[in-house]
């Protein structure tokens, strides 16, 4: 996008101008006469510091007048380098930001003009709107309008002054318009089907040979009387009769056809005239419009980054891989391969084409952990100097050595104690024979009482229990005596 007009400047860019160039771009050396069309070719080169919106122009010498036109300057890839506008007295071209993203921007342009003033000056001066001028040589300058009286009828065509239409002219000898029997010849003029005739531009004129050379023509009116003409317009032709044509005069038919939109330079439009059904005259118009082109070398980028520790101190010895937009990886070694920055820990690569680049560390500085980076940057016309920034490496972790513990001194084993001799078992004592319990006495009968006493059953039960216990003890004692007796017998 072009900057604001206040920042735009008119710069010197035109380096060469050629009038009527030949196929090799040199002047063709042919004379130029008044009112004749001329072709202009110019070469240009943008200043190294040109900016978007800057203009360059070429003011014409007063002997020619430009044919108005507008066109673009594009490079081979179709990128817009600038736009140009041809005016009556000059051509002005405006640069786009292409000049800011490319070096050595050059090109050429071509446009049409018309000689409008006689001059014998052969060196023409072209002003660039600055103090700079360009000069070109034109053999003979611009000669007078001196048309030769034609010996045959012919047809011609050229682009109109406004650049929007093709002007057609059929120049006719009077003798070609009358049959041997004195009847008018019927002319059918057929033009290219892509064209349309502007009927308001149509006219028929006549002149004597002297008037022809002076450029003085007399228009005829429509009608069927002698000295008049009749015309019938068809789809892409017209039929014409000139009544009572004078064999000693010349006649011309003039009309125009608008140039179709989108017509490119080099397009041809054919036109032919038949007289009484026989081919008579024809011509072909080749569209020559203003055009041009440009181009330059795409500016390359610079990519930088820094290798630092956690405190921001530069680290030496890192190695990297930079992968470009085509997938190709290039190695970069600090102060080595592909590194253009001599400072330790500062890396720079130059000559970088536009695209996206990815940075990967392949070797960390000694004693540091390799950074986990996959950073990306984009290099383009507005980002020619880019950086990955600081890339930090952490020190490798240190593990302190373990100190072995001193082994403990083993204690002396104690002397085993001597076991004591077992004592002889003592003889068991002989239990005494249990006494035979006395027979229980019969209880006496209690006296009768008026007050009830505790139930007698409770008392009777207690006595029975004691007696049972005593009996059990006696049995046990007897059993014990029996066992003891057996033991003694065994001994």
Distance CA 232, CA 239 (A): 5
For residue 265, give the CATH number of its domain.
Answer: 2.60.40.740
DSSP state of 366: T
Q: Extract the tokens encoding 392.
A: 């930090």
Cβ pair 240, 230 in contact under 8 A: yes
Compute the distance between CA of residue 369 and CA of residue 395 in angstroms, rounded to an integer.
Answer: 6
Residues paired with residue 126 on neighbouring β-strands, in sequence order: 134
Q: Are residues 227 and 269 in the same domain?
A: yes
Residue 451 lies in a domain: no
Whether residue 41 is contained in a domain is answered as: yes
| CATH, residue 77 | 2.60.40.1280
- Model pTM above 0.75: no
Evaluate whether residue 490 is within a structural domain: no
365: Cβ–Cβ under 8 A, 6 or more apart, which residues?
307, 315, 316, 317, 318, 393
- Rounded Cα–Cα distance for residues 324 and 355 (Å): 7
What pLDDT score was predicted for residue 487? 46
Domain boundary among 121, 145, 169: 145
**In this structure, is residue 343 part of a structural domain?**
yes
273 and 212 fall within a common domain: yes
Q: Which of 100, 128, 86, 439 is nearest to 289 (CA)?
A: 86
Say what the pLDDT of residue 406 is.
73
- What's the pLDDT score for residue 8? 85
- Dist. CA 233–CA 197, nearest whole Å: 9
Which residues, including other chains, have CB under 8 Å from residue 168's CB and lie 6 or more apart? 155, 156, 157, 191, 254, 255, 256, 257, 271, 283, 285
The helix (run of H) or strand (run of E) holding residue 449 is none
Q: Is residue 438 part of a domain?
A: no
Range of the domain at 101: 1-145
Select from 112, 145, 178 the last residue of a domain: 145
**What pLDDT is recorded for position 64?**
97
Match 């081919």 to its residue by tokens: 279
The answer to whether residue 324 sits within a structural domain is yes
Domain check: are 320 and 277 in the same one?
no
- Residue 165: CB partners within 8 Å, gap ≥ 6? 159, 198, 201, 256, 257, 258, 259
CB 16 within 8 A of CB 67: no
Q: What is the predicted pLDDT for the residue at 449?
A: 41
Q: Please say whether the beta carbons of 393 and 368 come within 8 A.
A: yes
Q: Which residue has the tokens 């513990």?
A: 405
Q: Which of 353, 375, 392 is where one domain is finished?
A: 392
**pLDDT tens by residue, the chain, 491 residues:** 444 445 689 999 999 999 999 999 999 999 999 988 899 999 999 999 999 999 999 999 999 999 888 999 999 999 999 999 999 999 999 999 999 999 999 999 999 999 999 999 999 999 998 888 999 999 999 999 878 899 999 999 988 878 889 999 999 999 999 998 889 999 999 999 999 999 999 999 999 999 999 889 999 999 999 999 999 999 999 999 999 999 999 999 999 999 999 998 889 999 999 999 999 999 999 888 889 999 999 999 999 999 999 999 999 999 999 999 999 999 999 999 999 999 999 999 999 999 999 999 999 999 999 988 789 999 998 899 999 999 999 999 877 777 767 767 766 666 666 666 666 656 655 555 555 555 555 544 444 444 444 444 444 444 444 455 555 555 455 545 444 444 444 44
SS3 202: strand
CATH of the domain at 323: 2.60.40.10
Q: How far is CA 318 from CA 303, 334, 366, in A?
A: 16, 6, 8
Both ends of the chain: CA-CA distance in Å? 136
């Amino acid at each position: 996008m072009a900057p604001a007009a206040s920042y735009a400047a008119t710069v010197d860019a035109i380096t060469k101008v050629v009038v009527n160039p030949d196929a090799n771009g040199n002047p063709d050396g042919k004379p130029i006469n008044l009112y004749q069309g001329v072709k202009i070719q110019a070469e240009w080169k943008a200043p190294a510091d040109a900016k978007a919106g800057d203009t360059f122009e070429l003011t014409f010498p007063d002997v020619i007048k430009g044919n108005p036109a507008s066109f673009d300057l594009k490079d081979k890839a179709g990128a817009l380098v600038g736009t140009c506008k041809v005016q009556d007295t000059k051509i002005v071209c405006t640069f786009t930001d292409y000049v800011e993203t490319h070096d050595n921007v050059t090109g050429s342009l071509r446009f049409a003009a018309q000689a409008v003033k006689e001059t014998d000056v052969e060196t023409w001066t072209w002003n660039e709107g600055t103090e700079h001028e360009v000069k070109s040589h034109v053999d003979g300058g611009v000669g007078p309008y001196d048309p030769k009286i034609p010996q045959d009828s012919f047809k011609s065509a050229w682009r109109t002054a406004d650049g929007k239409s093709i002007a057609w002219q059929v120049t006719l000898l009077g003798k070609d318009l009358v049959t041997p029997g004195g009847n008018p010849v019927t002319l059918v003029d057929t033009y290219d089907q892509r064209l349309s005739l502007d009927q308001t531009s149509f006219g028929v004129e006549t002149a004597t040979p002297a008037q022809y050379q002076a450029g003085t023509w007399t228009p005829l009116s429509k009608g069927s009387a002698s000295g008049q003409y009749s015309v019938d317009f068809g789809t892409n032709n017209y039929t014409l009769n000139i009544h009572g044509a004078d064999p000693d005069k010349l006649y011309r038919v003039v009309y125009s056809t608008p140039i179709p939109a989108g017509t490119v330079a080099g397009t041809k439009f054919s036109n032919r005239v038949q007289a009484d059904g026989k081919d008579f005259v024809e011509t072909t118009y080749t569209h020559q419009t203003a055009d041009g082109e440009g181009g330059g070398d795409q500016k390359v980028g610079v990519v930088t980054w820094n290798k630092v520790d956690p405190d921001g101190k530069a680290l030496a010895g890192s190695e990297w891989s930079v992968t470009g937009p085509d997938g190709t990886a290039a190695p970069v070694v600090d102060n080595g391969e592909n590194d253009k920055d001599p400072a330790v820990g500062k890396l720079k690569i130059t000559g970088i084409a536009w695209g996206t680049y990815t940075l990967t560390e392949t070797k960390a500085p000694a004693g540091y952990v390799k950074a986990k980076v996959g950073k990306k940057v984009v290099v383009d016309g507005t980002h020619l100097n880019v950086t990955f920034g600081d890339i930090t490496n952490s020190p490798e972790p240190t593990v302190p050595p373990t100190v072995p513990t001193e082994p403990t001194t083993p204690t002396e084993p104690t002397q085993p104690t001597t076991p004591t001799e077992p004592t002889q078992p003592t003889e068991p004592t002989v239990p005494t024979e249990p006494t035979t319990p006395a027979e229980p006495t019969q209880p006496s009968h209690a006296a009768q009482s008026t007050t009830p006493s505790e139930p007698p059953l409770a008392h009777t039960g207690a006595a029975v229990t004691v007696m049972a216990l005593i009996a059990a003890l006696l049995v046990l004692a007897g059993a014990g005596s029996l066992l003891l007796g057996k033991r003694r017998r065994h001994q």
